[in-house]
């Protein structure tokens, strides 16, 4: 199973839609979470069809801002729980009989003065389910000064609120590969501001289900945010041990031993040595 999350910064133009279709065709995610679609319901239903997904849940934009969408393949069992203009919350039935888990596609408040509302939303969602939980999206915040380059300094208190929320919810970072920064802003003077605003966080229980989960920061030329591609890699099942053959020296004292081995070899020859051993054990 795999998931693509992307703040696409508007899907109203065909160029961005083509870029979305291209990354979906290449990565083939089972679930897609889109942020800042800046599009209404009718247009997003067309986008879903162009991306060749049968199922979808759409939160239309408010005018020319916001907008969320969640698409998933027909073979995926997914139940929407709650939604707002900042999140889509769902339960997903995992593959290979691993059971249901909790997915939240998240978009943090872009305005600093309202960022506290985002953390209250996460704390509320934390209490709605005991299922293994994954949150992915654009949080519009960083956890440390190392996640920012250029521009004015972020206040430590502002970052602390985010870190405190992560700890309150019992979340940990999903390790990633690719560029550190997921958002780029080019200023008029040619200088850049780069930050890690997009990420995936999960509970310990979710990591138990998907211990080999791999997050990749992709690149895109049509948005100032990087798409995130998450591959789940479920925990491999333990292989059931077959019958183990052990030779006992006491068998040599049994007068039937030689005849049993000869007959087993004659009967099981076409099936190979495993068949010969099984016939010996059955005699």
Instruction: Give me the pLDDT at residue 276, please.
Output: 47
pLDDT, mean of residues 194-219: 97
Confidence check: pLDDT of 271 > 50: no
Q: Do 95 and 1 contact (CB within 8 A), yes or no? A: yes
More confident residue, 243 or 114: 114
For 68, half-sphere exposure in the C-beta direction (CA atoms, 13 angstrom radius) is: 21
Instruction: Give me the pLDDT at residue 269, please.
Output: 46
- 3-state SS of 46-77 is HHHHHCCCCEEEEECCECCECCEEEEECCCCC
1-18 residue pLDDT tens: 999 999 999 999 999 999
pLDDT, mean of residues 206-214: 95
Q: What's the distance, Cα to Cα, between the start and end of the chain in Å?
A: 47
The domains found in the chain, sorted by start residue, are: 2-231 (3.60.10.10), 249-282 (no CATH)
Average pLDDT over the chain, rounded to whole?
Answer: 89
CA pair distance 256, 121, nearest whole angstrom: 76
For 183, half-sphere exposure in the C-beta direction (CA atoms, 13 angstrom radius) is: 23
pLDDT, mean of residues 210-225: 95
Confidence of residue 262 (pLDDT cuts 50, 70, 90): low
141-185 residue pLDDT tens: 999 999 999 999 999 999 999 999 999 999 999 999 999 999 999
Residue by residue, DSSP assigns 140-159 as S--SSGGGEESSSPPPHHHH
CA pair distance 137, 4, nearest whole angstrom: 9
Is the entire prediction scored with pTM above 0.95? Answer: no
More confident residue, 118 or 187: 118
Instruction: Give me the pLDDT at residue 188, please.
Output: 85
């Amino acid at each position: 199973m795999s998931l693509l999350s992307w703040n696409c910064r508007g899907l109203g133009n065909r160029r961005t839609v083509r870029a979305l279709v291209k990354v979906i065709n290449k990565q083939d995610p089972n679930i897609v979470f889109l942020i800042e679609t800046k599009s209404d319901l009718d247009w997003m239903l067309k986008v879903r069809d162009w991306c060749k997904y049968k199922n979808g849940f759409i939160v239309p934009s408010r005018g020319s801002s916001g907008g969320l969408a969640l698409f998933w393949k027909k073979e995926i069992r997914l139940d929407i729980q709650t939604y707002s203009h900042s999140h889509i919350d769902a339960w997903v039935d995992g593959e290979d009989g691993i059971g249901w888990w909790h997915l939240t596609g998240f978009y943090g408040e872009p305005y600093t003065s309202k960022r506290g509302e985002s953390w209250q939303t996460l704390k509320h969602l934390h209490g709605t389910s005991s299922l293994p939980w994954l949150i992915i999206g654009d949080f519009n915040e960083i956890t440390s000064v190392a996640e920012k380059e250029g521009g004015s300094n972020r206040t430590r208190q502002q970052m602390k609120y985010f870190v405190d929320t992560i700890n309150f919810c019992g979340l940990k970072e999903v390790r990633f590969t690719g560029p550190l920064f997921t958002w780029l802003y080019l200023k008029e003077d040619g200088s850049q501001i780069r930050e890690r605003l997009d990420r995936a966080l999960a509970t310990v229980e979710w990591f138990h289900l998907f211990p080999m989960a791999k997050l990749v920061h992709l690149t895109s030329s049509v948005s100032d945010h990087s798409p995130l591609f998450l591959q789940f890699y479920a925990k491999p099942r333990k292989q059931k041990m077959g019958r183990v053959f052990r030779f006992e020296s006491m068998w040599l004292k049994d007068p039937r031993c030689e005849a049993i081995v000869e007959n087993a070899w004659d009967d099981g020859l076409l099936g190979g040595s495993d068949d010969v051993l099984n016939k010996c054990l059955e005699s």
